[in-house]
Structure 1
Amino acid sequence: MYKAYYEVVEGGELLHEIHRLHAIHGSVIRIGPNELHFNDPTAYHEIYSVGSRFTKDPSFYFCFNASDSAFGVIDPNESKARRGVMHSFFSRRAVLELESTVRQKVELLVHKLGERGEKPANMFLAFRSATLDIITSYMFGHCLGALDHPDFSAPLLLSIQDALPLLWLIKSFSWMICVFQLVPDRLQCRITNQFHAFLEIRTFIVTWLDRTSREVHDCSEPGTSTICHLFFNNPTTESQTAAYPKAFIDESLSLLQAGSDTVGNTCTVGTFFVLNDKTVHSRLMKELEAVWPDQDDSIDLRVLQNSPYLTAVIKESLRLSHGFVTPLPRIVGPSGATIAGHHIPPATTVGMSVTAVHMNSSVFENPDSFIPGRWLGNTPNLDRYLVAFSKGPPWHGQNFT
């Protein structure tokens, strides 16, 4: 109930409480009867790196109600197979082929912002709308059209935003998922706005799945390729998609929620800090004007990727926007483990938030400050501790982000 108080009553303040306790008690604290949290940067790699012998904590991942997604699958071998299926669509090469779609949506975003004139815009919603349009195009072959909604307030986008607080409740009371699954859809939407929002997201996915699956089977163009095509035509997922693709529903849910939120948040954080620091803004504009002198012409993504200060700004934006901040719990195996010099008994749940790495002053000097210059030159140690995408098996959306 200790964690539940800070998650539910205090509205997601558990992470702040964890950092407060670390300041008092040191690098390892107990946050549950059998759960430890670390804030030593070396511990993060020992817990989450590729090859780690620790397994996901089922009680935590159960609350996302996406047990058949690569994120939610507990079995390491099954999770590896799922990532293998998705890898071809999120490889660097595949993402580069998506460049024209990304450029089109970014240009539309710029146009929509220009149409507003002096009217303020919610940039968090604006960036998330653009990301959502790109993701849905890539997943289903059809764009959601979030950028076309007034004030960037597409109903699906607002539903994703409204559903997030529900996770705090379900993390503390996981039995609610079982109840939620037993309640008819028409009654779920009457329980709370969050339940209604969650139902709307899944309904959207199923509707678009039905539409796209018909197109997959009717399609006579071999070059047509979306993530939906991949799932319906891949032998690895054929048996899973036969029972009306729960695997794809769960994967879609994960991509829509995590993808739109992480990219939107990173862009928002970066935009805020760049616009509020004249030195950073001036240096960034000078570099962009040098490689992109005619703004009416398109610029190749590779040119932007080779722009050192732009890359530094993006890395610093990732550091301060963090990504998924909730500690992802892992269970120590039967032989026990040594983490950051501490012996941990078998079956202990361990975890560490990325914020404990990104805001650690022993790694990042003045961690509260937006300093892109820290990433210039040879920075292997800093790159090692940029963990916005974790350090385990690569998240298949990392190249896309």
Structure 2
Amino acid sequence: MQTPEHGAVAGLLSTVLVTIIAYVAYKVIYNIYFHPLANFKGPLLARTTGLWKAYVECVAQRSFCHVLVELHAKYGDVVRVEPNELHFANPKAYHDIYNNKNRWDKEARLYKSFNEDRSSFGFLTYAEAKNRKDVLNRSFSQAAIDGAESLVVDKTKALCAAFERQSKAAKSADLFFAFRAMTMDVIMTFCFGKPIHAVDAPDFKAPILVAMDASLPIFVRFKYSDLYKNMILKCPPKLSKIISPSTAGLVDLQQLLLHQIRDLTDDPDKLKNLPHNLTIYHRLMDAEAYRNKTVPSAGSLYEEAQALMFGGADTVGNTLMVGTFHLLKQPDKLQKLKRELSAAWPSLNGNEPKLRDLENLPYLNAVIKESLRVASGVVSGLLRVVPSPGAKIDGVAVPPGAIVSCGSTFVHYNADLFPEPDRFIPERWLESSDLDNWLVAFSRGPRMCLGINLAWAELRLGFAHVFRKFDPVLADPVPDGLPFRGVFLPCFYGTHLKVNMQPVTA
């Protein structure tokens, strides 16, 4: 027998259920027919709910930057990928969104997922980011990098010495880890004054690099941690290895940085104990560099360090690996590069070329540009919020408040700009300087990569020393390609590139 209390509870539950259904129906109808972006095409579920993108990445486990290629082929140059988000395929849109005139905010959900909210990378507004970058630019200016050339050279030589040890032991080198080991050593020494000698780890598998490789796909979990938490918890068991890997090495390095930061903030005089005065701490802890004479908190210093650590190691490491892969698959281009390097560096026992000398080697620079194009850097769209009163992107009127992006791969693999975009053709950069406008591996505009000058120094020295000092030969198993899944940065999941590094004698 039903009591009045039971009847009241049942009535309340019915009312709640009806309210939820009504609200969901309202949101669906509004998003499809009345939303400011209602006229833009896209998959029905994408126009209905942001859960569709979570399904693609978390349940279907598809790379969204590759799914976008299919969507644009079906719906055209502008695709609605969430109720309030548009992605543009035309390269012109890239410069319309990311340029020095725009002061557009970064989109909160994406950038807060990195847990680097108090860093130059994570600040959502232009004003916050500019204040921080103005301070850090002293460490990453061209003059600062010129002054740190010997540091980058030392780390590059340490990599070459490790390659020689591998060769003497008749072991192939895993370039996925080897190049990252070098770039991690550069970042840790240059930015933090804390060398970790990753290139000396057995087979280049320093714990931090193994952990970073395992943890990169966790970004999918963090990205949807609030709105899509329940959905991710229901992901199939096969995803568990992706979203819960062992990250002991990463935790160890994080603890090292936290300990260093605590020491410095407790006693700033310890800055004098660091091996050089170009570290980010020398800049960020200088109160005179700030308008309010207040240095960042220890938490902010840590988040800045984390952003630089991840961003600095992966992009350059990927570019060196991808460029090497394509050169080894095309011996004519490899030999062309080696001839240019030999002409500039006739004897390994003689004077080494300086960075300024390498900047004047046209084919070396063409190889680097083509490697950057193919590797692309960040492969996900860098989400921006259109300010009032709206904007025109690629000639299309976009209302204020809309989230927009154009992925770098849609610029770098555009067949009109780069004929045969899937082919590695360094010569294309020698034929037209106009192409430089379309190299966006470090992004463009006021939020572009802070470390671009350091990255170019690493790339020039890395390619020059490795290909002048060694005759690399592909080792078995030879990968057919270097497939990746887009998780903001590319996450390479295929056979690693392994090479026998045969030292050159002259």
After TM superposition, the score normalised by the length of structure 1 is 0.90
| Range that drifts further, 386-395 or 257-266 | 386-395
2:430 is the counterpart of 1:373? no
Whole-angstrom CA distance in 2 between matches of 1:238 and 1:11: 47
CA contact (8 A) 2:138 2:283 kept: no
Whole-angstrom CA distance in 1 between matches of 2:154 and 2:162: 12
The change in CA–CA distance for 1:205 and 1:219 in structure 2 (over 3 A counts) is closer
Match 2:261 to one of 195, 205, 209: 209
Whole-angstrom CA distance in 2 between matches of 1:220 and 1:280: 47
CA contact (8 A) 1:7 1:169 kept: no
1:112-150 Cα deviation digits (max 9, x unpaired): 111112312210211111111111111222211111111
Secondary structure at the residue paired with 1:74?
A: coil
Counterpart mapping for 1:16-31 below 5 A: 16-31=66-81
Q: Shift in Å at residue 324 of structure 1? A: 0.7
Q: Shift in Å at residue 64 of structure 1? A: 0.6
1:300-323 Cα deviation digits (max 9, x unpaired): 111111000000000000000000
Secondary structure at the residue paired with 2:377?
A: coil
CA contact (8 A) 1:12 1:168 kept: no
The change in CA–CA distance for 1:80 and 1:131 in structure 2 (over 3 A counts) is same
Tell me the equivalent position of 1:160. 212
Tell me the equivalent position of 1:50. 100
Q: In structure 2, give the amino acid aligned to 1:337.
A: A
The change in CA–CA distance for 1:160 and 1:103 in structure 2 (over 3 A counts) is same
Match 1:364 to one of 418, 429, 436: 418
Whole-angstrom CA distance in 1 between matches of 2:62 and 2:269: 44
Match 2:409 to one of 328, 334, 355: 355
Tell me the equivalent position of 2:469. none
Tell me the equivalent position of 1:9. 59
Whole-angstrom CA distance in 2 between matches of 1:220 and 1:41: 47
Secondary structure at the residue paired with 1:364?
A: coil
Secondary structure at the residue paired with 2:102?
A: coil
Q: Shift in Å at residue 61 of structure 1? A: 0.7
Tell me the equivalent position of 2:181. 129
CA contact (8 A) 2:211 2:247 kept: no
The change in CA–CA distance for 1:6 and 1:219 in structure 2 (over 3 A counts) is closer
Tell me the equivalent position of 2:328. 275
Q: Shift in Å at residue 175 of structure 1? A: 6.1
2:112 is the counterpart of 1:62? yes
CA contact (8 A) 2:263 2:270 kept: no
CA contact (8 A) 1:166 1:194 kept: no
Structure (1 or 2) with the larger CA radius of gyration: 2
CA contact (8 A) 1:63 1:171 kept: yes
CA contact (8 A) 1:46 1:339 kept: yes
CA contact (8 A) 1:163 1:197 kept: no
The change in CA–CA distance for 1:158 and 1:204 in structure 2 (over 3 A counts) is farther
1:30-76 Cα deviation digits (max 9, x unpaired): 11011110000100000111111432111111101000111110121
The change in CA–CA distance for 1:278 and 1:203 in structure 2 (over 3 A counts) is same
Whole-angstrom CA distance in 2 between matches of 1:345 and 1:334: 8
Q: Shift in Å at residue 279 of structure 1? A: 1.1
CA contact (8 A) 1:159 1:200 kept: no
CA contact (8 A) 1:240 1:247 kept: no
Runs ≥4 residues deviating over 4 A: 194-201, 211-216, 219-223
The change in CA–CA distance for 1:38 and 1:220 in structure 2 (over 3 A counts) is closer
Q: Shift in Å at residue 193 of structure 1? A: 2.7
Tell me the equivalent position of 2:342. 289
Counterpart mapping for 1:2-401 below 5 A: 2-117=52-167, 118-174=170-226, 192-193=244-245, 199-211=251-263, 216-218=268-270, 224-235=277-288, 236=290, 239-241=294-296, 243=297, 245-297=298-350, 298-380=352-434, 382-393=435-446, 394-401=448-455
Q: Shift in Å at residue 240 of structure 1? A: 4.5
How many pairs align? 385
Tell me the equivalent position of 1:187. none
CA contact (8 A) 2:271 2:282 kept: no
Q: What is the aligned-residue RMSD (CA, Å)? A: 2.2
Q: Shift in Å at residue 220 of structure 1? A: 5.4
Secondary structure at the residue paired with 2:123?
A: coil
Q: Shift in Å at residue 156 of structure 1? A: 1.5
Q: Shift in Å at residue 208 of structure 1? A: 3.0
CA contact (8 A) 2:183 2:316 kept: yes
The change in CA–CA distance for 1:2 and 1:200 in structure 2 (over 3 A counts) is farther
Secondary structure at the residue paired with 1:362?
A: coil
Secondary structure at the residue paired with 1:239?
A: coil
Q: In structure 2, give the amino acid aligned to 1:149.
A: A
Percentage identity across aligned positions? Answer: 37
Whole-angstrom CA distance in 2 between matches of 1:228 and 1:199: 21
Tell me the equivalent position of 1:180. none
Q: Shift in Å at residue 273 of structure 1? A: 0.8
CA contact (8 A) 2:218 2:244 kept: no
Whole-angstrom CA distance in 2 between matches of 1:365 and 1:7: 30
Q: Shift in Å at residue 176 of structure 1? A: 8.7
Whole-angstrom CA distance in 1 between matches of 2:310 and 2:318: 12
Whole-angstrom CA distance in 1 between matches of 2:337 and 2:306: 35
Alignment gaps of 5+ in structure 2: 1-50, 230-242, 456-506
Whole-angstrom CA distance in 2 between matches of 1:362 and 1:48: 20
Alignment gaps of 5+ in structure 1: 178-190
